Structure 1
Amino acid sequence: MYISQNYSYAILRPLQREILAHDGQVRWFLEGNDVNPDFLAPNEQTLTSISEIEQWQPDAVFAPANIIPTFIPGLKIAIFHGFDAGKLNSRGQNDHFKIRGCFDLYCTQGPNTTGPFQQLEKEHSFFKVIETGWPTLDPFFNQVFESPYIDANDPRKTLLICSTFSKRLSLAPKLYEQIKSFSEQGKWRILMQFHPKMPSGLVAKYQALENNNLTFIETDNVLPLLQAADVMLCDTSSILLMFILQRKPVVTFCNQAPGKHLIDITDPDKVEAAIDYALTHPQPLMAEINAFCQQLHPYQDGLSSQRVLAATNELILTNPKLKAKPLNLIRNLKMRNKLNYWRW
């Protein structure tokens, strides 16, 4: 399990459970300073260097990331760190479908990502694509946890506010006055959670709003948080797609890829009315949400980890003749420098 962000623990742990249930072995490698080793469970074992990875000789390396060192042993398996939220980079390109020459297998989440990746597979021929669903959501559909964020003694509807960190896309700096007003009026019980890369000054500003109506939450596992809310207010963060899979409505502010499954608002003064409307669960909106979810992630059986493991084992056993990956010399030199590994 190759991770570089705290949210990756929750992404990969369902897959870890499946591997261990089949008498496999798992080791974690924590890359960089953004991942906190304190989140490791007592029974989770780590490898602390590339040399240790080489000695352990993994059959497969699972990464919820865009890049991974190609010089480490094992098949490289892409487990996405989120859904395609339609974010475009400065060149107007969708990075969700950018092929960086690192992976042997992409385990896609649903038809709306499988199709584009299968086309890229034909184009490049150095990786395989198999639709499996997203292991992260297995506990969601298996209901293996009880959310600590549900308050049975509070009859109010619960609003979850999430935001991405990009200044260009984030609702946080643009809706502060509205959210402050929401926290004061007490109309809803409000939970807030930001992307871990959110600027600390902005986080502190929102943490200062905490009261009986608003709770700011920092966590490495957002699933219980999503389960606790009735409606979400978001921007273009992929977390909204995890939330909507519960067939719950989402209000977005200036979303980059608005569709009929979302209530997208561009005027800050109309956000409150949009949330009120969402809470009525209008039938046309709910029908659009259901149709969208069938394309996004049709699997509600909680067995995506099993499918990922089966796809990985099939690739190991069949050993298909794939084209050689691109050398990516500059990127690999940067990765070697970052990981302080120079053995060839």
Structure 2
Amino acid sequence: MTVKKYLFFISQNYSFAILRPLQKAIIERGGEVRWFLYGDEINHAFLHDNELALTSIKAIKQYQPIAVFVPGNTVPSFIPGLKVAVFHGFNSGKLNRRGFEDHFNIRGCFDLYCTQGPNTTNKFHALAQQHGHFSVVETGWPALDPLFTDVEHDKIKANNKANILMCSTFSRNLTCAPILLETIKQLSSTGRWQWKIQFHPKMDAEIVKQYKAIESEHLTFVETDNVIPLLQEADVMLCDTSSVLIMFVLQGKPVVTFNNISPRDYMLNISQAEQLAPALEKALTRPKALMANIERFICETHPKQDGHSAQRVLDAVDSMLAGQLINRKKKPLNLLRAFKMRRSLGYWGR
């Protein structure tokens, strides 16, 4: 029996946690995985000892994967295998330079999009009809499989204090981190709540330094490639416009946002630092109306909470490879993007 070979094409550290549930499902099915770490923003030390990496395009071509999974926006057309988009996060409403939602930017790189829930699936289906060169299957997001299957949900608090998790995007126009620094310093000094701080890996180094400087027995700064355990143990999240807030809400937990660019009724959005403590207090009471809004949002965004999204992604790939999903057009040539990718990867072969 031929072993199915798959490639993970990644350029950011958060991609490890996104793809490992998929790797687990592949291995359980008797397949094998190779990783390709691309660019200078990824830490090769995050690879586990039992995970194997390919170091060149030539090696990828020799490996001949049947499918390439990408949690980013682009992938070279000149490497073999079905190109599968599995997303690096949820649609948080961020707009690109042309004023369009970046989550739905079609770059002509993928054969298959594995979507997370109805509120993105429906739009991608419409885009598939428009473009014709990719298919869409709602699978759920493999990155969340451990969120719904691991036992961290039942972790008992050692100190009986509420846990507040603060996450923030790196964008200067959207981040709440510098604005709320002094307020969080003051609130953490009271010892009323237990704080953990975790930022996007691209966060400004000076801001990271400032938050590390206020660490105490009540506040911990966490650097990790796997945010899921932090999401599980927290009672409330403080965030801005980072898509990680959606992962948190999908657990049925409240989030307080600061100047979110597109506030929704499942958030408690504030605009002033002095509103933070009252908002956190309110979130911890889990107001009935807010929790109803959160439940509705879950149904729209990621209703599949059985922990088997990775299996559905592999099923979708098998369906496309078996000819059960057919794209009516070929992907665009993307000559300029292909040239840039070749130049950045130093590869000029066929």
The equivalent position to 2:279 in structure 1, one of 274, 281, 301, is 274
Q: Is the 8 A contact 1:147 1:225 kept in 2?
A: no
Structure 2: which amino acid aligns with 1:133? G
CA distance in 1, matches of 2:55, 2:123: 36
The equivalent position to 1:85 in structure 2, one of 78, 87, 92, is 92
The equivalent position to 1:329 in structure 2, one of 307, 329, 335, is 335
The match for 1:249 is 254
Displacement of 1:88 in angstroms is 1.7
Displacement of 1:321 in angstroms is 4.6
CA distance in 2, matches of 1:267, 1:201: 23
Q: Secondary structure at the match of 1:26?
A: strand
Unaligned runs of 5+ in 2: 1-7
CA distance in 1, matches of 2:195, 2:109: 40
Structure 1: which amino acid aligns with 2:321? I
Structure 1: which amino acid aligns with 2:256? V
For residues 177-216 of structure 1, the C-alpha deviation after alignment (integer angstroms, 9 at most, x for no partner) is 2111112122210000000000111101111010011000
Residue 318 of structure 2 corresponds to residue 313 of structure 1: yes
Superposition map of 1:166-181 within 5 A: 166-181=171-186
| Structure 1 length-normalised TM | 0.97
The equivalent position to 2:105 in structure 1, one of 98, 110, 117, is 98
| Structure 2 length-normalised TM | 0.95
CA distance in 2, matches of 1:243, 1:154: 22
Q: Is the 8 A contact 1:110 1:297 kept in 2?
A: yes
Displacement of 1:92 in angstroms is 2.3
Displacement of 1:90 in angstroms is 3.7
Structure 2: which amino acid aligns with 1:94? E
The match for 2:128 is 121
Displacement of 1:153 in angstroms is 2.2
Residue 160 of structure 2 corresponds to residue 155 of structure 1: yes
CA distance in 1, matches of 2:169, 2:327: 40
CA distance in 2, matches of 1:166, 1:322: 38
Q: Is the 8 A contact 2:93 2:261 kept in 1?
A: yes
Superposition map of 1:199-218 within 5 A: 199-218=204-223
Structure 2: which amino acid aligns with 1:137? L
Q: Secondary structure at the match of 2:177?
A: coil
Structure 2: which amino acid aligns with 1:19? I
Residue 346 of structure 2 corresponds to residue 340 of structure 1: yes
The equivalent position to 2:302 in structure 1, one of 281, 284, 297, is 297
CA distance in 2, matches of 1:53, 1:235: 39
Q: Secondary structure at the match of 2:59?
A: helix
How many residue pairs match? The answer is: 342
The match for 1:190 is 195
Give the alignment's Cα RMSD to 1 decimal.
Answer: 1.4
The match for 2:78 is 71
Structure 2: which amino acid aligns with 1:238? S
For residues 125-171 of structure 1, the C-alpha deviation after alignment (integer angstroms, 9 at most, x for no partner) is 0000000000011111111x5489x6732111010000000000000
Distance 1:294 1:147, change over 3 A: closer
Q: Is the 8 A contact 2:135 2:326 kept in 1?
A: no
Q: Is the 8 A contact 1:165 1:199 kept in 2?
A: yes
CA distance in 2, matches of 1:59, 1:53: 11
Structure 2: which amino acid aligns with 1:342? W
CA distance in 2, matches of 1:329, 1:14: 33
Q: Which runs of 4+ in 1 moved over 3 A?
A: 145-148
Displacement of 1:91 in angstroms is 3.3
For residues 240-296 of structure 1, the C-alpha deviation after alignment (integer angstroms, 9 at most, x for no partner) is 000001100000001111111000101221111001000000100000000001101
The match for 2:37 is 30
CA distance in 2, matches of 1:183, 1:330: 50
CA distance in 2, matches of 1:261, 1:152: 26
The equivalent position to 1:110 in structure 2, one of 96, 117, 127, is 117
The equivalent position to 2:25 in structure 1, one of 14, 18, 41, is 18
